[in-house]
Chain A
Amino acid sequence: MATTKPGVPFQCAIGMISASALAYEVLLMRLFAIIQWHHFAFMIISLALLGYGVSGVVLALNRERLMQNFPLAIVANMMLFGISAPLCFLLAEQIEFYPAEMLWAPVQWLSLCAIYLLLAIPFFFAANVVGLSLYRYKAHISSIYAADLLGAGAGSVAIILLLFLVFPQKSLTVLIISAVTATLIVSRYGFGDKDVDMSPWFGAPLIIMLAVVFMLTEFAPLKVSPYKAQNQLLRVPGTKIIARDSSPLGVISVVSSGITPLRHAPGLSLNATTEPPEQLAVFTDADNMAAITQFTGKPETLGYLDQTTSALPYHLNRLADVLILGAGTGSDVLQANYHAVKHIAAVELNPRIAELITDKFADFAGHIYDGARIDLHIEEARGYLASTNKTHDLINLSLLDAFGSSAAGLYSMAENYLYTEQAIQEYLRHVRPGGYLSLTRWIKMPPRDEVKLLATVLEALKQSGIGDPSRRIAMIRGWQTSTLVIKNGAITTEEIERLKRFCDERSFDPVYYPGITAGEVNRFNIQQQPYLYQAVTALLGDNGPAFSYAYKFNIEPATDDRPYLFHFFKWRSLPESWSLLTKGGSFLLESGYLLLIAALLQAILASLLLIALPLWLWKDKLGIPAGSRDYRPILLYFFCLGLAFLFIEIAFIQKFILILHHPLYAITVVLSTFLLTAGAGSHFSQNLPSGTGKSPVLVPVTGIALLCVLYLLSFESICGFVLGSGNVVRYALSVLLVAPLGFCMGMPFPMALARLGQTAPALIPWAWGINGCASVISAILATLIAMQLGFNVLILLAVALYGVAAWCFPKASPGI
């Protein structure tokens, strides 16, 4: 403790722990998305981050004791983080937790809480390291915070790169190594004093313990939920995994069926007599099954693909040039092949999926992605369209999400830019006059996404200035799928005749075509009421808004600002669906949204406990004099910062998905830029004149507000300008756009902590904890606000929160 300035090795070690903690967070999301489902991953990890809040409280109450043993406390916490990160995941994995049973079995909630608690432990240790250091080096808070943010920024890039190279569970071992290295660096060189060499104490036990954890991590297979589709299929005799691959976009497994053929043909007509050829199942994250179909070059073996609703456009007109968006394992390409389409452009987001068809299983799949007839583009659909002026006779999007997850209402919080008003307009710009856009979706009962998609399409047509959408759309349905066709032009009588014939031959029901009558819509696949027909006619007529209001699900059109096609929840319908829970109506609950609410409530409750309880019981211990109320603005300041930082970060990640196209790259680039530039901002903040009032913080806050408003007002123009550029320029410009904002956002937190360092240093760990709690609430709340009000509102709210924070900036007068 001879020095009051953190040395470079110490800062490096802090950076490494922060990098590992952020990497651990991303990794847990991936691991839980594999063993459970994505939305639970989000909820579990959000709440586990409360470890930061707990750390704040523990440090605040024990700060002096810990300061006396600062080197020991730092090294021990680093070491414990390294050990607990993999160990807690392995233990959490052993807890029997089946989300689908939560509605019935209360014990599942206990399991969930146990998982939260276990996973909060590593974050608690990581937060202790940073929180303690902030308190110890009060005069150099901006350097410590900068190391924290720069480390987190580097961690966000490193984990994505790592996930390209190794399977997620193996990445855990890399975290162990990173944490061990940080521990050894800090124990040997971190305290700038030869008397404080901790390495002899920690070296041997550290290595032994980590070796044990390393072995456990390396050899324990992931315990995937037995209810995931992949595990269900693997129970069928003869099935086995024949290939596995991993990237940040998901773990891909290819399963051969062995004895019992797979026969994946969703939406097949009741009149079909043929079955699919041999197939291989492809799972992403042990779910979302797709199939690679064997193709021997004989189109007649693909006859079953003409027996699905998605084959409709091929029967309306002769199509020479087709664009398949979300080509995946190629069944839509095979369908186009079957219909002898001369040229096919196929766009697929995940290169690893495409490689299955072009490389590993190319012979089995009949080299369908090779040859002069087909162009394969590994890109995000809208990104591809933004980069080309080509037009097509047909643009096809079919069943891009698996039925199981879709049916259970689990996708509600997942943003999807493929089905928004702006996306539909973009697609239609690339459809030749007389050509079609075809959208095939699963049938749901009662209908939800089909109706919401209809509303979105009609609004897109209206916004494009198309006077009479009713002449341009047609829709059909089978018992399992529906297909909506939008023509670039008016649908002709001949096309209507062909549609009727197509439906009659396959026992499909027309939902809508220009001139349809009510008697035609409910003959083969009878619904209690012709829901979809009612929806189309209402939405096309003057009753649209009233229909939308009266509908028991949220069917407001999805937009780029609110890209949530699968968000159907309406508070008004909750009492009814709740009352039907035990009467066979559990599927009516939009569980994804409700779980988000549940997560928010839990986060608020836990934060209240962590903030209010110590205030109530141990005010003195926290360093707040009895009777003082001056701590309130401090509480508000750090709480607002915690909320606002993530609001902006999350909103901008979403906004930049449109510019960078690829969600994964958008998240990586925007997140790392935010964190790295915020780190630089934090470091720079010590150069700002400290002043005595609120003036110092007004500089960055004004910068944040101006930049946010500027981006909000000009985002469309920026988008238009940036989208026309090449890949490198787009990424470079995105970094340049985010950087100044991140730079400003990195300042308010260390500035206030530095002020506290001068006036009430005892409150530093407490402020750190408050910020941690607010960040947890913020991540969940941001998603909820975006779903309800959109990203623009989210950004404006963040600006307002920064305003409130500026108003509460700690006073310069000493003591509180």
Chain B
Amino acid sequence: MKKVIHLMFWLIFIGLILFLFSSHVIAEPDFQRQRLALVELIKDEVTTTRDFLQQEALDERVLDALSKVPRHEFVPDSQRPYAYENRPLPIGHGQTISQPYIVAVMTDLLKPKKTDRVLEIGTGSGYQAAILAELVDSVYSIEIIEKLAEQAASNLKRSGYGAVHTRIGDGYYGWESVAPFDGIVVTAVASHIPPPLIKQLKPGGRMIIPVGAPFMTQYLVLVTKDADDKVTTRQILPVSFVPLTGKH
């Protein structure tokens, strides 16, 4: 009896160890399967929240990009098992990457075209830049936190997005030498929209800014510049929620 208990103890112990490690050793085909499942989930969610987009579905190209970019390559090892859950993830240095659903919506709102030139302020881990690189010809990305910028550059190169132009520095003045841009994504929180960025937006261009706290995007601000350089913003609730039921 004692031997059986002893054996069971070791079996459970080894099982637990294997279980703990197994979550960190997921094969690429598994990731691919998870990624596709995530895209399906996002598709479903968009159909229930189509109001804010004023369209039935996200651009197929955006969804396609999401299904190609290996998100697990852009998160720390400890977060890899959760890379394809629809949730924000910590990427170290007190920074996070948005949940894939929000990334999809933000990217869609930019209305990216193949020939576009897009600037990103706040490279983070490089995931958003990689998504953009799947959609447009030129992506420029600026990150102020040195370690994060180096890590992102390495992530991008490793995942086959070496063409993304990255720079360490202050994003407030944009990237003057390659401006203007068709689209700008400001993922680094700003107390206001930097006037130089508005200036570097092409007529007809779109800028997207997520507003909120870490792990929590409250709303998206879409800044558009029309052909006459008139600038307007749209405050977009990325979720189907109307504060008033309309029964009053």
- Chain A complexes with chain B: yes
Which residue on A lies nearest to B146, using beta carbons?
A237
Chain B 164-178 against A: per-residue CB contact (8 Å), 1 yes, 0 no?
Answer: 000000101000000
Among B6-14, B66-74, B85-93, B131-139, which stretch is in contact with chain A? B85-93
B140 at the interface (CB under 8 A from A): no
Q: Give the number of residue pairs across the A-B interface with Cβ within 8 Å.
A: 168
**What chain A residues lie within 8 Å of B105 (beta carbons)?**
584
Asked if A264 and B191 make an inter-chain contact with CB atoms under 8 angstroms apart, the answer reads yes
**What chain A residues lie within 8 Å of B233 (beta carbons)?**
270, 479, 524-526
Asked if B145 and A235 make an inter-chain contact with CB atoms under 8 angstroms apart, the answer reads yes
A and B contact pairs by CB, cutoff 8 A, 6 listed: A235-B94, A524-B232, A550-B248, A580-B239, A585-B241, A587-B216
**What chain B residues lie within 8 Å of A580 (beta carbons)?**
239-241
Question: Complex Cα distance A527/B52, Å?
Answer: 10
Determine which of A272, A524, A547, A583 lies in contact with B48 in the assembled complex, contact meaning CB atoms within 8 Å: A583
What's the interface size class on A, roughly?
A: 35 or more
A444 at the interface (CB under 8 A from B): yes
Question: Complex Cα distance A584/B58, Å?
Answer: 15
Chain A 138-182 against B: per-residue CB contact (8 Å), 1 yes, 0 no?
Answer: 000000000000000000000000000000000000000000000
Which residue on A lies nearest to B168, using beta carbons?
A237
A582 at the interface (CB under 8 A from B): yes
**What chain B residues lie within 8 Å of A231 (beta carbons)?**
94
Which residue on B lies nearest to A443, using beta carbons?
B235
**What chain B residues lie within 8 Å of A543 (beta carbons)?**
248
Asked if B219 and A549 make an inter-chain contact with CB atoms under 8 angstroms apart, the answer reads no
Which residue on A lies nearest to B145, using beta carbons?
A235
**What chain A residues lie within 8 Å of B247 (beta carbons)?**
546, 550
Asked if A551 and B244 make an inter-chain contact with CB atoms under 8 angstroms apart, the answer reads yes
Asked if A582 and B86 make an inter-chain contact with CB atoms under 8 angstroms apart, the answer reads yes
Which residue on A lies nearest to B171, using beta carbons?
A260
**What chain B residues lie within 8 Å of A264 (beta carbons)?**
191
A531 at the interface (CB under 8 A from B): yes
B76 at the interface (CB under 8 A from A): no
B237 at the interface (CB under 8 A from A): yes
Asked if B90 and A104 make an inter-chain contact with CB atoms under 8 angstroms apart, the answer reads no
Question: Complex Cα distance A275/B218, Å?
Answer: 26
Asked if A552 and B191 make an inter-chain contact with CB atoms under 8 angstroms apart, the answer reads no
Which B50-107 residues have C-beta < 8 A from chain A? 51-52, 82, 85-88, 90, 93-94, 96, 99, 101-102, 105
Question: Complex Cα distance A201/B27, Å?
Answer: 61
Determine which of A265, A408, A525, A576 lies in contact with B241 in the assembled complex, contact meaning CB atoms within 8 Å: A576
What's the interface size class on B, roughly?
A: 35 or more
Asked if B234 and A526 make an inter-chain contact with CB atoms under 8 angstroms apart, the answer reads yes
A271 at the interface (CB under 8 A from B): yes
B144 at the interface (CB under 8 A from A): yes
A263 at the interface (CB under 8 A from B): yes
Q: A268-B193, A445-B219, A584-B99 are in contact. Are A226 and B146 (CB under 8 A)?
A: no
Asked if A584 and B217 make an inter-chain contact with CB atoms under 8 angstroms apart, the answer reads yes
Determine which of B49, B221, B239, B243 lies in contact with A551 in the assembled complex, contact meaning CB atoms within 8 Å: B243
A447 at the interface (CB under 8 A from B): yes
Asked if A583 and B216 make an inter-chain contact with CB atoms under 8 angstroms apart, the answer reads no
**What chain B residues lie within 8 Å of A261 (beta carbons)?**
172
Asked if A584 and B238 make an inter-chain contact with CB atoms under 8 angstroms apart, the answer reads yes
Asked if A446 and B248 make an inter-chain contact with CB atoms under 8 angstroms apart, the answer reads no
Q: A260-B170, A263-B172 are in contact. Are A549 and B248 (CB under 8 A)?
A: yes
Chain B 123-134 against A: per-residue CB contact (8 Å), 1 yes, 0 no?
Answer: 000000000000
Question: Complex Cα distance A147/B221, Å?
Answer: 59
Determine which of B49, B170, B246, B248 lies in contact with A584 in the assembled complex, contact meaning CB atoms within 8 Å: B49
